[in-house]
């Protein structure tokens, strides 16, 4: 870049720029040396030419200079003019300064001459200004009491406290302390301080128990009416690094929300000279905070917790100043309340606690809250019970009836039960429901699904839900009071308050709050709830305090905590009542109580009146108490801050569980064991109960004739498992009870079974291994209940296999001849008992199996909960209960044995009668009109027993019982021919008449297939009618029908002597040819 590039040369003379670029830059050097150029010209051969070049360059430079001068001429002229003006102004200024110095010298002389008079005038003006300010302040302070009373009447408590604190500080300012006219104002402010305190505390107390204007219950109703969702969680995130309370989300530490003053969390009073730590405070003491003033670190971040609908409106509403702060002077707390997203009732509680802190009454308030806690809770519970009683007994109950007459709770609930359990009657006129209810050790209203249980659970749910809601308020207030009390040690208290406030900087949090802590409130709440439960359960004082004694002994062994002087928070026992809380109240709180806050003290703790709601009270209501208490404990534990988390695990739940374990379960076991014993030992327990003309039905509701003892046991087992469902934690113990009862019942059933079959041949036969295997393989056994350890014959087995098994079993029974009458069950009542016992055992087995599945699920659910929540639900160590299915199998096997005995018994009875065939000779000389006597006896017995068993067993089971008669009778009739010596035509006709009579008797049994009976007995008649054929025709028949009968049976046809029939040797040879083996 050339040094001449920046010259202002116009475009029409751009050639100058090119010419300048040709000039050597050495000519423009700062230290120009001309000697080299002179030597160059002198030594040059063309000196004239070089000189001419230098002249041309000189002309170009001059022309460039002209261009530059022309371009900057106007600026040069203007600069010269400006310099001239500056010089002129400097000259005029110097002249003016000289004149000013002369004037100042003259003024100094004049002021020095009147110095004393001016000083006097200035002092007088300052004094008058101060007097005017004091008079303005006095005039304003004189109006403060009336303004405070007006604010109190309007429930602007925070504004009233602000004004009271500000006025008290003004009265302490220099100049106002000696004003005698303000003594009355001081006295009125002192009285108003107490008035404000009582009003604030009264309103705080009302909101603690959800009875105030801004309580959570009222707020939720109003917000639901306005379709504005409420915030369920309180989020107040500060820029500070202090931890937050888990429940109130209010900051812990010195920089707490609601601390009146600057950002360090302390209240800063005004200075003596009227100044203030607040920006913009006027001389009369009123605070004027600028809108753009910083919040001293309070920059809360809000989070809306409502639903999607109306969330923006709810957030906008929550950002507005609450109405109870509308008249307050803007300060840090008011700004924090405006920005907070907390629900209205939480903001109001914070405001009331802030008022108490500004008044210096934290300990006094805590003492009075402690004093009134128990009577208030007692009154709340009593009120809830009365309201519940009004809903139950009212003319228009909310239980689903449009108009209900005024009746007592007992009668109404009893009517509900009667509709749930109708008085059903069996076919013999016996009331099933009445018998079952009589078997239970508890009344129908006290049963697991009884109306007393329902009413008790609804009552406890209602009361404990209310207690949980108000305990939430106690958690909020307790944390705020504890936080405020910890700050009072560094509080710069006004002198007027110093005489009333007696703070101990070394005291613990309990003393700083007047004994009121979250642990204390939880203890009292649980204590009252325990007393309510004891009244419901009718628990004795010893039973109620047993758990407390254990807890007290356990706590006595604990070492004292270094951080806590009062060990009440380490673990609490609540089986006690506070009659006077003044023992733990500081002096200030005791004075306040003596001043008139004794309402609720020494109140006689009477009963809660649960009898107006519950139709019955007693220990069995523990089942309905357990689950509400468990839910209550979970809710309380979720509310407690971390340091109080242990309180949620001990207390009411521990008492309830110990009561159930130590009192309820043993009592229930004894009662139900007695009921079981009575049910199975009563004379009617194993007496068949059905009308002989009735038909069998499988439904209990329609009259299934289950034995009364077994039906009662089934009812009791279901009832005990109903208690297990109500108390899943104790399901293992209750299932063990059921197993014990079922085991005793099984022993009683076994005894009744043995009484009927003892020393009887049928019972001994089913115990034989070969007979038992044949019975299992018999296709008829497919109708029997399926027992896991028994292989029942397949119903689709082939005819050959079925015939083989039946023949083998028939032969085994026929080999037992002669059958003696004393070895048979001749008493029909015992047979009916076995039939009824079989059906009843099967019913109970099916019921036990269903109960076992449900109980297993319940037990598994308990174990799962026990592993998931070891903190809240301490599971007692108990072995996994034995599967109830094993008991069902035992009952089912006994039912099968009963059916087997009946089947074998009927077959033996048939053999006993039919064996008479072998004792007589069928050589009648005339045709008889009636069957043999033994056949008539057998058929009448079959008909009678079938009719008697119809109501007690299903058709398929009756088919099994009587289905073996036909086969054994047919087999015996054919085999009887081998034992006969001779038979004539009339004898064959008599045997055929016997078979026809037997066929008619068996065909009359509705459950038996008449075609099968006819086919088998036709075979008998065919066999005996072969005796009427000539020998040649008989042999021809045998050759054509080899498989119709066995070879032995055909040979018997030739062996028997038939009058008038001659048998040649050739016939025997031909028979041997037909059957070579």
Per-residue pLDDT of 151-189, as tens digits, reads 888 888 888 888 888 888 877 766 565 566 567 777 888
Structure confidence at residue 830 (pLDDT) = 92
Task: Name residue 251's beta-bridge partners.
Answer: 244
Residue 135 or 732, more confident: 732
Sign of CA dihedral 222, 227, 231, 232: positive
Structure confidence at residue 509 (pLDDT) = 53
Measured CA to CA, the distance from residue 758 to residue 47 in angstroms comes to 167
- Percent helix, strand, coil in the chain (nearest 5)? 65, 0, 35
Long-range residue pairs from 789-795, CB within 8 A, at least 24 positions apart, any chain: 789/889, 789/893, 790/893, 790/896
Structure confidence at residue 38 (pLDDT) = 83
First vs last Cα of the chain: how many Å apart? 143
Structure confidence at residue 275 (pLDDT) = 38
Measured CA to CA, the distance from residue 460 to residue 479 in angstroms comes to 28
Structure confidence at residue 492 (pLDDT) = 39
Sign of CA dihedral 79, 80, 85, 90: positive
Measured CA to CA, the distance from residue 324 to residue 652 in angstroms comes to 38
Which of 34-43, 69-78, 596-605 bottoms out in mean pLDDT, i.e. has the lowest? 596-605
What residues contact 643, with CB distance under 8 A and at least 6 apart? 569
Measured CA to CA, the distance from residue 756 to residue 897 in angstroms comes to 12
Percent of the chain with pLDDT strictly greater than 70 = 70
Most confident of 68-72, 202-206, 692-696: 202-206
* Burial bucket for residue 967 (CB in 10 Å: 0-12, 13-18, 19+): buried
Helix (H, G, I), strand (E, B) or coil at 244: strand
Q: For residue 445, give the nearest of 424, 402, 415 by alpha carbon.
A: 415
Residue 938 has pLDDT above 90, yes or no: yes
Q: How far is CA 709 from the centre of its chain?
A: 38
Residue 12 has pLDDT above 60, yes or no: yes
Q: For residue 1044, give the nearest of 1028, 1068, 1020, 1071 by alpha carbon.
A: 1020
Residue 414 has pLDDT above 60, yes or no: no
Q: For residue 647, give the nearest of 574, 581, 550 by alpha carbon.
A: 574
Q: Which residues of 471-505 are buried (b: 16+ CB within 10 A; e: fewer)?
A: bbbbbbbbbbbbbbbbbbeebeebebbeebbebee
Averaged pLDDT, 399-414: 37
Per-residue pLDDT band at 207 (split at 50, 70, 90): confident
Averaged pLDDT, 208-237: 54
Structure confidence at residue 341 (pLDDT) = 85
Residue 824 has pLDDT above 90, yes or no: yes
619: left (phi over 0), alpha (psi -120 to 50) or beta: alpha
Check whether the bond before 818 is cis (ω within 30° of 0). yes
Is residue 407 within 8 Å of 628, Cβ to Cβ?
Answer: no
Most confident of 291-295, 791-795, 1056-1060: 1056-1060
Per-residue pLDDT band at 211 (split at 50, 70, 90): confident
Q: What is the pLDDT of residues 672-709, one digit of tens each?
A: 999 999 988 888 888 887 564 578 888 888 888 889 88
Structure confidence at residue 298 (pLDDT) = 38
Is residue 684 within 8 Å of 690, Cβ to Cβ?
Answer: no
Averaged pLDDT, 403-418: 37
3-state secondary structure 912-956: HHHHHHHHCCECCCCCCCCCCHHHHHHHHHHHHHHHHHCCCCCHH
Per-residue pLDDT band at 940 (split at 50, 70, 90): very high
Measured CA to CA, the distance from residue 129 to residue 631 in angstroms comes to 70
Structure tokens at 611: 């009898």
Structure confidence at residue 431 (pLDDT) = 55
Residue 72 or 87, more confident: 87
Q: How crowded is the C-beta side of 82, counted as CA atoms within 13 Å?
A: 6
Q: What is the pLDDT of residues 223-276, one digit of tens each?
A: 444 433 333 333 333 333 333 343 333 434 333 333 333 333 333 333 333 333
Residue identified by tokens 């008492």 is 655
Q: How far is CA 159 from the centre of its chain?
A: 44
Residue 863 has pLDDT above 60, yes or no: no
Measured CA to CA, the distance from residue 212 to residue 204 in angstroms comes to 8
Residue 557 has pLDDT above 70, yes or no: no
Residue 221 has pLDDT above 70, yes or no: no
Structure confidence at residue 291 (pLDDT) = 39
Q: Which pTM was predicted?
A: 0.66
Structure confidence at residue 765 (pLDDT) = 92
Is residue 709 within 8 Å of 748, Cβ to Cβ?
Answer: yes
Percent of the chain with pLDDT strictly greater than 90 = 16
Q: What is the pLDDT of residues 998-1034, one digit of tens each?
A: 999 999 988 888 899 999 999 999 999 999 888 888 8
DSSP code at position 647: G
The length of the chain in residues reads 1077
Residue 786 or 630, more confident: 630
Residue 984 has pLDDT above 60, yes or no: yes
Most confident of 13-17, 70-74, 273-277: 70-74
Structure confidence at residue 644 (pLDDT) = 73
Q: For residue 581, give the nearest of 366, 367, 365 by alpha carbon.
A: 367
Most confident of 296-300, 548-552, 870-874: 548-552
Q: How crowded is the C-beta side of 646, counted as CA atoms within 13 Å?
A: 8
3-state secondary structure 668-734: HHHHHHHHHHHHHHCCCCCCCCCCCCCCCCCCCCCCCCCCHHHHHHHHHHHHHHHHHHHCHHHHHHH
Averaged pLDDT, 846-873: 60
Q: What is the pLDDT of residues 591-640, one digit of tens each?
A: 443 333 333 334 344 678 887 778 777 888 888 898 999 888 888 888 88
Q: For residue 300, give the nearest of 265, 248, 267, 251 by alpha carbon.
A: 251
Most confident of 30-39, 222-231, 440-449: 440-449
Averaged pLDDT, 103-113: 82
Structure tokens at 1012: 């099968």
Per-residue pLDDT band at 218 (split at 50, 70, 90): low
Please give the mean pLDDT across all residues of the chain.
74
Structure confidence at residue 899 (pLDDT) = 94
Residue 858 has pLDDT above 70, yes or no: no
């Amino acid at each position: 870049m050339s040094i001449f590039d920046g010259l202002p040369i116009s475009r029409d003379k751009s050639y100058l720029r090119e010419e300048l670029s040709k000039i050597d830059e050495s000519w423009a050097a700062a230290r120009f040396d001309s000697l080299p150029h002179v030597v160059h010209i002198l030594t040059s051969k063309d000196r004239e030419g070089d000189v001419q070049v230098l002249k041309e360059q000189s002309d170009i430079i001059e022309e460039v200079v002209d261009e530059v001068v022309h371009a900057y001429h106007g600026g040069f002229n203007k600069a010269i003019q400006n310099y001239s003006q500056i010089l002129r102004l400097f000259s005029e200024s110097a002249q003016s300064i000289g004149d000013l110095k002369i004037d100042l010298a003259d003024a100094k002389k004049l002021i020095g001459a009147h110095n004393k008079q001016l000083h006097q005038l200035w002092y007088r003006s300052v004094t008058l200004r101060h007097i005017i300010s004091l008079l303005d302040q006095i005039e304003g302070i004189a109006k403060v009491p009336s303004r405070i009373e007006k604010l109190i009447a309007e429930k602007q408590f925070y504004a009233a406290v602000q004004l009271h604190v500000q006025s008290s500080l003004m009265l302490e300012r220099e100049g106002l302390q000696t004003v005698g006219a303000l003594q009355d104002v001081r006295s009125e402010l002192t009285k108003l301080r107490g008035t404000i305190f009582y009003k604030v505390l009264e309103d705080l107390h009302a909101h603690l128990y959800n009875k105030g204007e801004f309580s959570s219950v009222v707020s939720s109703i109003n917000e639901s009416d306005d379709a504005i969702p409420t915030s369920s969680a309180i989020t107040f995130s500060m820029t500070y690094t202090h931890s937050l309370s888990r429940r109130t989300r209010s900051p812990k530490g010195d920089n707490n929300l609601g601390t009146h003053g600057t950002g360090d969390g302390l209240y800063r009073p005004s200075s003596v000279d009227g100044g203030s730590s607040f920006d913009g405070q006027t001389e009369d003491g009123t605070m004027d905070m600028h809108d753009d003033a910083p919040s001293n670190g309070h920059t809360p971040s809000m989070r809306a917790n409502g639903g999607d609908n109306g969330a923006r409106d709810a957030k906008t509403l929550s950002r507005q100043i609450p109405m109870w702060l509308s008249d307050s002077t803007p300060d840090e707390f008011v700004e924090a309340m405006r920005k907070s997203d907390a629900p209205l009732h939480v903001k109001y509680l914070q405001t009331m606690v802030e008022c108490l802190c500004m008044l210096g009454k934290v300990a006094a308030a805590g003492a009075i809250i402690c004093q009134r806690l128990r009577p208030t809770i007692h009154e709340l519970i009593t009120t809830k019970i009365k309201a519940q009683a009004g809903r139950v007994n009212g003319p228009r109950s909310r239980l689903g009836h449009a108009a209900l007459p005024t009746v007592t709770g007992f009668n109404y609930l009893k009517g509900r039960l009667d509709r749930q359990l109708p008085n059903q009657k069996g076919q013999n006129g016996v009331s099933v429901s009445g018998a079952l209810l009589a078997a239970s050790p508890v009344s129908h209203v006290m049963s697991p699904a009884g109306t007393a249980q329902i009413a008790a659970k609804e009552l406890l749910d209602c009361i404990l839900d209310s207690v949980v809601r108000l305990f939430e308020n106690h958690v909020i207030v307790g944390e705020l009071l504890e936080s405020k009390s910890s700050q009072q040690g560094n509080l710069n208290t006004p002198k007027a308050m110093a005489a009333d406030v007696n703070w101990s900087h070394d005291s613990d949090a309990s003393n700083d709050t007047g004994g009121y802590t979250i642990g204390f409130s939880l203890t009292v709440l649980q204590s009252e709830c325990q007393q309510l439960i004891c009244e419901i359960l009718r628990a004795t004082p010893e039973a109620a305090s047993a758990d407390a004694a254990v807890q007290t002994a356990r706590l006595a062994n604990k070492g004292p905590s270094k951080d806590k002087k009062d060990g009440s928070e380490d673990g609490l026992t609540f089986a006690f009542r506070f009659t006077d809380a003044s023992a733990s109240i500081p002096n200030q709180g005791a004075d306040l109580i003596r001043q008139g806050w004794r309402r609720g003290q020494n109140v006689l703790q009477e009963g809660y009146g649960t009898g107006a709601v519950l139709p019955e009270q007693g220990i069995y209501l523990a089942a309905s108490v357990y689950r509400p208490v468990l839910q209550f404990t979970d809710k309380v534990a979720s509310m407690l801050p971390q340091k109080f988390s242990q309180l949620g695990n001990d207390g009411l739940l521990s008492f309830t569980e110990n009561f159930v374990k130590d009192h309820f379960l043993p009592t229930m076991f004894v009662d139900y064991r007695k009921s079981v014993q009575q049910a199975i030992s009563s004379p009617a327990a194993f007496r068949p109960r059905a009308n002989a003309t009735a038909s069998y039905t499988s439904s209990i509701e329609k009259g299934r004739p289950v034995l009364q003892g077994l039906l009662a046991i089934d009812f009791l087992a279901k009832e005990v498992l109903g208690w297990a469902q109500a108390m899943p934690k104790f399901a293992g113990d209750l299932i063990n009870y059921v197993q014990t009862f079922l085991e005793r019942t099984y022993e009683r059933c076994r005894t009744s079974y043995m009484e009927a079959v003892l020393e009887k041949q049928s019972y001994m036969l089913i115990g034989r291994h070969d007979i038992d295997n044949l019975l299992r393989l018999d296709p008829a056994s497919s109708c029997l209940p399926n027992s896991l350890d028994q292989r029942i014959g397949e119903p689709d087995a082939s005819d050959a296999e079925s015939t083989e098994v039946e023949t083998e079993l028939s032969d085994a029974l026929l080999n037992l001849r002669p059958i003696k009458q004393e070895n048979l069950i001749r008493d029909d009542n015992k047979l009916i008992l076995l039939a009824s016992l079989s059906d009843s055992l099967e019913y109970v087995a099916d019921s036990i199996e269903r109960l076992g599945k449900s109980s297993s699920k319940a037990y598994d659910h308990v174990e799962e909960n026990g592993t998931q929540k070891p903190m809240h639900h301490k599971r007692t160590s108990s072995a996994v209960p034995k599967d109830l299915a094993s008991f069902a199998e035992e009952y089912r096997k006994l039912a099968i044995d009963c059916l087997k005995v009946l089947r074998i018994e009927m077959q033996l009875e048939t053999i006993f009668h039919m064996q008479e065939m072998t004792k007589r000779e069928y050589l009648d000389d005339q045709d008889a009109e009636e069957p043999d006597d033994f056949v008539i006896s057998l058929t009448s017995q079959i008909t009678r027993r079938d009719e008697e068993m119809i109501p007690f067993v299903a058709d398929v089971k009756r088919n099994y019982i009587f289905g073996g008669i036909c086969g054994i009778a047919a087999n015996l009739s054919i085999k009887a021919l081998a034992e006969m010596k001779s038979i004539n035509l009339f004898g064959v006709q008599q045997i055929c008449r016997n078979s026809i009579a037997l066929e008619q008797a068996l065909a009359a049994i509705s459950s038996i297939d008449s075609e099968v009976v006819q086919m088998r007995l036709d075979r008998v008649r065919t066999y005996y009618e072969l005796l009427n054929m000539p020998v040649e025709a008989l042999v021809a028949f045998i050759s054509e029908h080899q498989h119709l009968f066995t070879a032995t049976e055909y040979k018997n046809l030739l062996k028997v002597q038939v009058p008038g029939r001659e048998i040649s040797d050739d016939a025997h040879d031909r028979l041997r040819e037909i059957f070579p083996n």
